[in-house]
Structure 1
Amino acid sequence: MKKISTLFILFISVLTWAQSSISGKILDTDGQPIPSASVTVEEPGKDAIIAYSITNSKGEFKVTFTSAEQNVDVKVKAFNQKPLQKVVKNENQTQNFTLQDDATEIKEVKLKAKMITKRGDTISYDIKAFESKSDRTLSDVLKKIPGIDVNKDGTVLYQGEPINKFYVNGKDLMEGGYGTINNSLPTGAVSKVEVMENHQPVKILQDKVPSESAAINIKLKKSVTMTGRGEVGAGLDPLLWNVKLTPMFFGQKNQWVVNYKANNNGESVEKEGNMLAFGNRWEGRRGQSAGNYWLSVDKASTPNIPEKRYLMNNVHFFSANVLTNPFKSKEWELKASTSYTNNAISRDSKRETVYEQDTGFFKAGKITNEESNNLYSNAAKGEIIFTKNAKKGFFKNTTTWNGFWNEDRGFSGTRYDMAVADPSLKNISLDEALSAPTGVFKNSLSTIIPWKEKLVNFMSYISYQTDRQNLSATNENFFDLDKQFGRDSESVHYGRLDQSIALKTFMANHSASVGFSHKKWTITPEVGLNLSFNDMNSQLYGDRNLLDDRFQNRMIWNEINPYTQVGLNYKGSAFNLNLTLPLNMYNMDYKDELRAKDSEISKTVFEPTFYGSYDFASFYKVSAFGGINYSYGNFGSVYDGSILTGPKSLNVRNSNLLPENRNINSSARLEYRNPLNNLFFNVRYSYNDMKKNIITKSTPFLSGASAVTLAYNDNSSYSQSESAEVGKYFPKFKTNASVNFSNRDSNSYSILVDENNVDNYIENKSNGQSLALKFNNTYFSWMSLDYNVSLNWNKNSDDYRNNVNRNSGWNHNMNLFFYPIENHTVGFVWDDVTTSQGATNLRNSFYDLSYQYTWAKKKIDFEIKWLNIANRKLYETISYNTTYFSTTRNSIEIRPSQVMFTVKFNFK
């Protein structure tokens, strides 16, 4: 609570900074308003703008600024008008200006568009200003724009936060799954990229309910555009192929995108179907569907490098998205989408762990583990969305069906080289298989109806999901879990284990609210009922014989959670406030039908959240968030029969131990975005405090296996982070540069049971810093450069062992392109990742070379690319465990050297 109080005081103190506002009208000599006139404020004697404003259609303006000077200069400019400058006092005031006509006959006109412009809450970027000759799609350019970043998964960030909408010509065709457009929309079709700050996507709420998120609108050159991107490629060592076909159409009433992508060259195109933006709660409930996986095979490690370096795949992905206006009214939209994925992935990794001493968990010596996988997946999705988004009402119904069919195969091998070991200790091997089909049906409805001066909102969400999972493991010499299956002192060894589990989940969430608006305030009382009904059946077989009821479950977990809350919103021109005051009633019932046990939780708690933001001095924005929430477990938190969740992990969660967790989270952010000098920066702070009444209790074994239970033990953990990012575009040098620094601190608690069956209470603490630099330059007509480098430093400590470890690493990526002759491009890519532990440095370097010829008349690219020139076969990392006094060296198989020839083209 002290942290939240401190943040709140800081937030309020910022709001009370000494500021001045000048408002008024700009008129011509006939007394007519002048729209789009610029009003700037400067300190006397300084050629630097401290604040600005643009007049609206009525000629009105308001500019807010902070300055220590007694007087400031106000400058007014407008097309065909004589500029005006006036010295005014630094205080709140109203000033009206009349401009004299100044029409000039111009014989020759050269128009030079500004790279970045701002009007209201919308910042527009001219895409040509940031594009290099090697860029072909929107994603190539987007990551170069100041203030915008793109995560590895394709999520677009603005000022470090995910966007909430991705529009094309003002329409949201993809409903959050915008990866397809981002990766396949040709740059030649795009005019501008618009960032809409504080974007409220529900039009009827735009002047009533504030939003802290930004949206992106891709403005095309033509209102009706037929475009798209395609690639066809083949390669050697081994035989490689790559196909990408993505035609697109964007019209005023209809939009569609059809997408087929398939390859075996290491590109996970199926992720383009993932939802990356979720709108806001008033649009209903949406999320990324997935299987409820309780079981898994042992997985080989994956490295922290671009997927094209290590992904051994064979994937086919198809998707289609359609948007149309089914009625004469453009307010109604119908969207339909479908997708299908067939994917096969293989992985191999090896890790060698050296234990320096006898720790009570492991003997001194070395253990080598090898994991190998073949992962097969099929996924299908269908979705229909019906929407009306108007100033006089809102309606949205989303119906979604998902199916997943996964077949995972795994091999795990363990070899021992121990100084002190049991003579009977033998090498271990396990063959593993998991079958996991899943079906999901969801429907979300939200409507907002104006009633006199009020807004009535009804929301309904239902979801039904079934999961069936069957895990099989056959082993040679695997002994570590033997005593977990024995009765009393008897030991039983099973050569094969089969775990089956069946899950069913039904959820229903319903709510109703009424919004009362008065001037800039909106008060929204709401009532709701959340229901969740779940059941689980599981059986464990040893050598195909059903084990006793200690290894079986027939359980039901039901939740009935009514709630009532009041939302308080203030939507001003500069200050926005959202305060939610909910009273939540948690009622949970756990029934074990096999053991005739019944446990209940009934709690009523107050869980407020607060968000506020304030824009000041034209370019600054400060915001703060705080909240408290409680959780009392969910489906899977408890079960009394042991479950083999993995071939080496036997878990049981005693239902006598019902979780009660309290979480406090808070954050604050200061942003600066100035399109006049192309400068953007943000400073962020977040703090999370979690109190729990249960702790995980693990018994580790030599093979890497473990038996996991729960224990009552009050414990508190926290995490906090601080970060700052500065980005600036230098138009004179055609350079965009940004620097990011972050610091993270956290702790966690656990209980480890040693070889003497003694519980060891362990607190692990971690601290990490990272420094990242992003730089791209297109100054020279014959060269362009993209360069990214990040450095990290980490410190981990274990208070039980009083052991501290420090390690570091760095990651660097360079894309260098030369244009020696028109339509010819030579590219060089250098990826370098290094991890350091003590005196050991493991460096992983990768080099690619490419040549591309562009048939300009047909807009076709012919590219030949040589990947991993050095033919590196393994990616290596090193780490240290402070609890076990162990050093682990991890080796991961990556893609060998390969050559690809690709033809790339636009559909129009």
Structure 2
Amino acid sequence: MLFLYRIILNLTVFLPNKIIICLLVTISFEGYSQNVIQGTIKDETGKIVNNINLILYPRTGENILGYGGVDERGRFTIKYPNVATDSIRLEIIGLAYERKILFLVSKSYQLVNVQVKTAVNTLPEIIIKDERPITKKSDTINYNIKSFANKNDRVIIDVIKNLPGIKVTESGQILYQNKAINKFYVEGQDLLEGRYNLTTNNLPVNAVDAVQILENHQPVRMLEGIEETDRAALNIKLNANARMKLIGNVNAGLGLSPFLRNNNVALLKFNQNMQYINAVKNNNVGVNLDKELNDLNLNLNTILSGGITQNLVNIIKAPTPPVNTERYTFNNNTLASSNQIFPLSKLFTLKYNIAYENDKLINNSDAITQVYLPSDTIVINENQTGYNTYHKLISRLGIEANTQKIFFKDIFNFQRIWSSEYNYISSNAVNQKLSNPFINLYNDFSSVIKIKNNLLGVNSYISYSDLPQYLNVTPGQYKKLLNNDQEYDGLLQKIQSRTFFLNNSVSFGKKINKLYVNNKLGVLANLQHLNNNLDLFTGDVIFSPTGSFQNDIERNQLKLYNETALTYRMKKASIVTILNISPTHLSNNDRGIKQSENEIFFNYSIRSKYDINQFFTNSLNITVQRDATYMSNASFVLQNYRSLVSYEIPLYKTWDKSINYSLNYKNIVTAMFANLGISFSRKNSNILMKSKFDQDLITQTAIVQDNPSDKLNFSGNVNKYYLSIKTGIDIGVNYAFTKFKEIQQGAINNFLNKTSKLTVRINTQPNKWLVLNHSLEFTRYKNTSKQNGNYIEYDPVHFFNQNCNLKASLFNDYTAKLNLEHYYNDAKYLKPVNYFFADFGIQKTLKKQKIDLSATLSNIFNVKNYTSYSYTNNYLLNSNYTLRGRTLLFKADFQF
């Protein structure tokens, strides 16, 4: 009650008397007024004053005894009950007058005439903060960080993982409503162009005020409200202090068994004119720093041009185990990165990103591969020891202007990778050595110009990539096929792919009422030179194998295309139709043997979205895509020590048809998000793979044959946050079905693979001193094949893993951290395996110095090996991995 009175009193100098009196009456106590004060109020000139309010109190205290206003003649009357005190206090308040206080004697009636002085009163500054956890304005959702963070969160990714409606994948990619974000901003600027792990892993939580989701975000401001998008962007809003100063993280860690280190320095600054992130990191505790350089928003042109490193040849290794990567990664990883954006003028900004990384990895694993063939079962044993030396250099320079009146963007990117691997398989005494460097550079230019009410767009993407790779295998394999059944020491496979790619286009757009028409005319060229050569050697003598194992291929694709997009927007719905017509010339020239073909492709897609109400939105996408490419290599390539592959085929043609439906629910008041999705696709091609096994050696070729394959996927997710108990619950289900065929040992094998998955995640803070995160995942793989008319049901494989992370605040700023992990894996006729891991840490926080001192004991149970079962078609893999044993790490973390 007293609080309400105080609010009204602060307003008395601004509101009319009648309103103040009404407000006070509505909240006043019950009582009978026995005493009366009457009088008049005038200013220092004797002029009657009537815009005055009077409040009566006891001499000391804030309980209101009575109140009143002044009529048009300057008169007032205040009635108040009998009080225990003999003295009372009368306060006179007015907007244009000085506050006046009179001390009076309490009696049944008295007459008081008051004189006030004129003055100018200003309202003290009032800052109103919206403390609601989630708010929405237009297409922007604001998450108040204070509502979701706990005092043990250090960097912003710790909080983003717990925001309702948002998910973070293992790679660090951020999803909103099950779709990857298309931009990651800090204060509205995109510094890292898709490599935003560097920000999320280093930006301190205490520097952030809010995380914003920008729904249906169009990155080009000139196209806002014109070109539709169904993806969101994420923007980080910093607090006032963080925008004014240098912020960062400094971490130093040393440990035992073996000697361990984990050291990071990250300096960040974000202000109106400039942003930068500079970081230097080094560790040998299993943390993969390469994730911070991954582009999580790859451009389609980068994928088409071969701008992603790939292995034309490879080393056979056991598949990645389904456990925390830090438990099985033996590394020595260093990363240095510098990123900055600053203005060149009022319109243009310049940004650069440069990073260098090196790593040395050691891996030890055993694998037993069982291949179930129509008439036989092949068993391959491989006990492997290996190491990998890896270096990466990435640099990017960009200029951008992005306003409602102009869009201009040009990015030059250079990437160089040096990588070499060595692997020894002791079970069959095979040595594998691989050198797989990679060079890629590209220039990506785009611009939109407004001409009256029309939009003219210009886009140009030009790239060059080079993959020279070398595989050395000893002793010699395939002696019957390659060397007339004579022994020899080893093989050396050389292969190099060089690709020049360009995709240039001009577009013209015009808005006609609710319809936007955009027509794009472009040219795409993909010119590739592939040459490979297989040599045998004995001692220092190098000689050629029996038969032809060389290719020297020129592959060219030239495509002219005209793409017309129609976007029709209504209040609650939108429809986008795209028709692409592309005459295409393809050629393949292998040592004088020429192939060429001309095709015209008609591809189209339809995307529709309808907002059912403020909570539900659904969308339907239909796509039909036809394409063709030459991928022929008549001579075999040694892909790995036990696999020879050739594609002596004509033009490879594909026809993809897909349909996707999604239903999304969003209620920010109850902090509940949900989505349901179903998709089906059918791919038809004219090429079928043919595999022939000779014990553990495989020969793969491609033949011309109709080859349909189907994919069905169903997914559902519910995410709910209970603010009153600071608890978030996320439940997801997924079912995937794939159907395809392959020829093995001369017989057609039809495969039917089914995957079912359930995930549950709970994060809760039941009180100020306890934080609990628990997640579990259950996955079931079921494979079936049809061979010679007979169905073969392979044993299902089940994975179940759960993780429980507990943080408890103790006395004197100490925090105890306990992490528990459980992994279960089984196959019907194999022994089920259970693994339990535990990590415990104690942390002391020095608040004034902003330093955390911690000691962490990892893998308390000292588990040193992990066994996993998994299926790939009719391959059952039984893998065993060497893990890190028990370790102790001391660490000091400083944030500023």
| TM-score above 0.5 | yes
Q: How does 1:496-575 map to 2 (within 5 A)?
A: 496-543=490-537, 544-547=542-545, 550-575=548-573
* Partner-residue secondary structure (3-state), 1:857: coil
Q: Does structure 1 conserve the Cα–Cα contact (< 8 Å) formed by 2:373 and 2:744?
A: no
Match of 1:774 in 2: 761
Any gaps of 5 or more consecutive residues in structure 1? Answer: 1-104, 415-427, 754-758
1:299 touches 1:373 (CA, 8 Å); kept in 2? no
1:456 and 2:456 aligned: yes
Instruction: Kindly indicate whether the alpha-carbon contact (under 8 Å) linking 2:615 and 2:666 is maintained by their aligned counterparts in 1.
Output: yes
Which of 828, 833, 837 is the aligned partner of 2:823? Answer: 833
- 5 Å-filtered alignment, 1:435-446, equals 435-446=435-446
Q: What residue is the counterpart of 2:840 in the other structure?
A: 849
- Following superposition, the deviation at residue 514 of structure 1 comes to 0.4
Higher relative contact order (Cα pairs below 8 Å, separated by 6+ residues): 1
SS at match of 2:661: strand
Structure 2 match to 1:242: 262
Please give the secondary structure, in 2, of the residue aligned with 1:216. Answer: strand
CA distance in 1, matches of 2:684, 2:290: 38
What is the SS of the residue equivalent to 2:199? helix
Q: CA deviation at 1:429?
A: 1.6
One-letter amino acid matched to 1:351: A
Q: Report the equivalent of 2:394.
A: 381
Whole-Å separation in 2 of the counterparts to 1:163 and 1:404: 27
CA contact (8 A) 1:126 1:192 kept: yes
Cα separation, partners in 2 of 1:746 and 1:280, compared to 1, 3 Å: closer
Q: Which moved more, 1:759-768 or 1:790-799?
A: 790-799
Q: Which runs of 5+ in 2 are unaligned?
A: 1-122
Change (3 A) 1:323 1:279: farther
Distance 1:155 1:268, change over 3 A: same
Partner of 1:170: 188
Equivalent AA in structure 2 for residue 541 of structure 1? D
Q: How many residues align?
A: 765
What CA distance in whole angstroms lies between the structure 2 residues aligned with 1:584 and 1:275? 29
The structural deviation recorded for 1:549 is 6.1
Question: CA 1:540–1:517 in 2, change beyond 3 Å: closer, same or farther?
Answer: same
After TM superposition, the structure 1 stretch with the greater mean CA deviation from structure 2, 693-702 or 541-550, is 541-550
SS at match of 1:608: strand
Letter in 1 for 2:528: N
2:458 partner amino acid: F
The aligned counterpart of 1:798 is 785
What residue in structure 1 maps to residue 865 of structure 2?
874
For 2:199 and 2:268, the matched residues in 1 are separated by 9
CA distances 1:488-533 after superposition (whole Å, capped 9, x unpaired) = xx42333210011222111111111100111232101111100111
Alpha-carbon offset, residue 577 of structure 1:
2.3
Structure-1 separation of matches of 2:775 and 2:684: 39
Q: Secondary structure at the match of 2:201?
A: helix
| 1:410 paired residue among 423, 426, 440 | 423
Q: Distance in 1 between matches of 2:544 and 2:846?
A: 68
Match of 1:484 among 469, 477, 481: 481
Question: Residue 290 of structure 1: CA displacement?
Answer: 3.2
1:862 equivalent in alignment to 2:856: no
Q: Structure 1, residues 770-801: CA drift from partner, whole Å, max 9, x if none?
A: 11111000121121101111112222111115
Map Cα deviations across residues 710-739 of structure 1 (whole Å, 9 max, x no partner): 112112111111111111111111101111
Aligned residue number for residue 712 of structure 1: 704
Q: What does 1:305-316 correspond to in 2, within 5 Å? A: 305-316=323-334
Residue in 1 aligned with 2:808?
818
Question: What secondary structure does 2:734 align onto?
Answer: strand
**SS of structure 1 residue aligned to 2:783:** strand
1:452–1:891 CA distance, 2 compared to 1 (3 A)? same
Q: Secondary structure at the match of 1:732?
A: helix
1:674 partner amino acid: N
Deviation at 1:702, TM superposition (A): 2.2
Among residues 874, 883, 886, which one is paired with 1:897 in the alignment?
Answer: 886
1:268-295 CA-partner distances (Å, limit 9, x unpaired): 01210111125899xx999994334211
Match of 1:44 in 2: none
C-alpha deviation, 1:483, in angstroms: 2.6
1:627, 1:252 → 2: CA distance?
42
| 1:219/1:833 CA distance change after superposition, 3 Å | same
Cα shift at 1:179: 0.2
CA gap of 1:602–1:432, structure 2 versus 1, over 3 A, is same
Is 1:578 aligned to 2:567, yes or no? no
Per the TM alignment, residue 302 of structure 1 is displaced from its structure 2 partner at its CA by 2.0
Does residue 1:650 correspond to 2:644, yes or no? yes
Confirm or deny: 8 A CA contact 1:300 1:373 kept in the other structure.
Answer: no
Any conservation in 1 of the 2:156–2:204 contact (CA below 8 Å)?
A: yes
Q: Residue 353 and residue 435 in structure 1: after superposition, are their counterparts in 2 closer, same or farther (change >3 A)?
A: closer
CA shift, 1:361, in A, is 3.8
Provide closer, same or farther for how the CA distance between residues 398 and 548 of structure 1 changes in structure 2, counting only shifts above 3 A.
farther
Partner in structure 2 of residue 339 of structure 1:
355
Cα distance change of structure 1 residues 620 and 882 upon mapping to structure 2, 3 Å threshold? closer
- CA shift at 1:111, angstroms? 6.2
Partner of 2:655: 662
Q: 1:379 to 1:110 in 2, by over 3 A?
A: closer
Contact 2:337 2:355 in 1 (8 A): yes
Residue 445 of structure 1 aligns to a residue whose secondary structure is strand
Report the Cα offset of residue 106 of structure 1.
Answer: 13
Write the distance in 2 (CA, Å) between the matches of 1:572 and 1:231.
53
Q: Is residue 374–residue 747 contact of structure 2 (8 Å, CA) maintained in 1? A: no
Change (3 A) 1:679 1:507: same
Asked whether the equivalents of residues 318 and 879 of structure 2 are also in contact (C-alpha less than 8 Å), the reply is no
Which residue is 1:734 aligned to?
726
Same amino acid, percent of matched pairs = 26
Query: Does 1:180 pair with 2:198?
Result: yes
Q: Is the 8 A contact 1:190 1:221 kept in 2?
A: yes
Contact 2:804–2:820 (CA under 8 A) maintained in structure 1: yes
CA distance in 2, matches of 1:251, 1:352: 56
Structure 1 residue 112 displacement after superposition: 6.3
Equivalent residue of 1:271, what SS?
helix
CA separation of 1:340 and 1:879: change in aligned 2, threshold 3 A: closer
On the 8 A contact 1:241/1:265 being kept in 2, the answer is yes
Report the AA paired with residue 463 of structure 1. Answer: S
Deviations 1:13-66 (A, max 9, x none): xxxxxxxxxxxxxxxxxxxxxxxxxxxxxxxxxxxxxxxxxxxxxxxxxxxxxx
Superposition deviation, residue 540 in structure 1 = 0.8
Distance in 2, matches of 1:374 and 1:816, equals 35
Partners of 2:218 and 2:169 in 1: CA distance? 23
Check conservation: 1:300, 1:348, Cα contact below 8 A. no
Letter in 2 for 1:349: S
Q: Where does residue 434 of structure 1 map in the other structure?
A: 434
Give the distance between the partners of 1:289 and 1:122, measured in 2 at CA. 34
Q: Which residue of 1 aligns with 2:101?
A: none
Q: CA 1:904–1:394 in 2, change beyond 3 Å: closer, same or farther?
A: same
1:224 Cα offset (Å) = 3.0
For 1:584-635, what per-residue CA distance to the aligned partner results, in whole angstroms no more than 9, with x for missing partners? 2221100012xx211112211111012121223212211121111122135x
Matches within 5 A, 1:50-89: none
Q: Which residue of 1 aligns with 2:294?
A: 274
CA shift for structure 1 position 883: 4.4
Partner of 2:284 in structure 1? 264
SS of 1:816 mapped into structure 2: strand
Q: Which amino acid aligns with 1:813?
A: N
The 3 A distance-change label for structure 1 pair 598 and 111 is: closer
Kindly indicate whether residue 366 of structure 2 is the aligned counterpart of residue 350 of structure 1. Answer: yes
Is the radius of gyration larger for structure 1 or structure 2?
Answer: 2
Please report the RMSD computed on the Cα atoms of aligned residues, expressed in angstroms: 2.3
Q: CA deviation at 1:359?
A: 5.4
Q: SS of 1:799's equivalent?
A: strand
CA distance in structure 2 between the aligned counterparts of 1:875 and 1:741, rounded to whole angstroms: 27
Kindly state the Cα deviation for residue 443 of structure 1 after the two structures are TM-superposed. 0.4
Deviations 1:351-395 (A, max 9, x none): 23568x9953446xx642212221111110111011110111211
C-alpha spacing 1:841/1:678, structure 2 compared with 1 (3 Å) = same
Change (3 A) 1:497 1:224: same
The DSSP-based 3-state class of the residue aligned with 2:159 is helix
Q: Deviations over 1:792-822 (max 9, x none)?
A: 2222111115211322221111111111224
1:465 CA displacement: 1.4
Q: Is the 8 A contact 2:601 2:627 kept in 1?
A: no
Q: What are the Cα deviations for residues 44-99 of structure 1, in whole angstroms up to 9, with x where unaligned?
A: xxxxxxxxxxxxxxxxxxxxxxxxxxxxxxxxxxxxxxxxxxxxxxxxxxxxxxxx
Q: CA deviation at 1:403?
A: 0.7
Structure 1 residues 371 and 449, CA, compared in 2 at 3 Å: closer, same or farther? same
Q: What is aligned with 2:375?
A: 360
